[in-house]
Amino acid sequence: MDEALLQAPIDDEVRAYHHATAESLQIVNYKQGQEYTAHHDFIHPPIHHRMQPTRFATLLLYLNDDFDGGQTTFPRAMNAHHHDGITIKPVRGTAVLFYNMLPDGNVDDLSQHSSKPVVSGEKWLANLWIWDPVIN
């Protein structure tokens, strides 16, 4: 991936519209018993910023699968086959792309997700947060 397409993490001093299209790729490691409770990746930007930039999409890249547990769950999501949430078993070399925003620009509450506890072994993944492609 071209490093020029990535950006430094967002903080309180630097506003999102000064950055590129995505935050820096992050490597995440979960050890046995570790998890990430249900959350959203979008942020609520300051109301006085008229463009209201936020994380548009998330890409989760699974780097290994030699562990038990650690499934990615979307507890509010549904499709034709699942009405009580969707669970994804990490498989090395695969990825999950999901949108944090709706086509009308509002945030999508159904994008809430979590990482179930790792039962044995260690889970490794990379995440990439892609920002709303609004140009100032």
Range of the domain at 84: 23-36+52-131
Cα–Cα distance, 69 to 86 (Å, whole number): 15
Number of structural domains (the chain) is 1
Q: What is the pLDDT of residues 62-75, one digit of tens each?
A: 999 999 999 999 99
Residue 5 belongs to a domain: no
Handedness of CA 74, 78, 83, 86 (dihedral sign): negative
Residue 115 belongs to a domain: yes
For residue 63, the domain's CATH number is 2.60.120.620
Q: What is the pLDDT of residues 11-41, one digit of tens each?
A: 444 444 445 688 889 999 999 999 999 999 9
Alpha-helical (H) ranges within the chain are: none
Residue 31 belongs to a domain: yes
Max Cα-Cα span within the chain: 47
CA distances from 111 to 6, 21, 44, 74 (A): 23, 20, 14, 7
Cα–Cα distance, 36 to 118 (Å, whole number): 10
- What local confidence, expressed as pLDDT, does residue 45 receive? 73
Residue 18 belongs to a domain: no
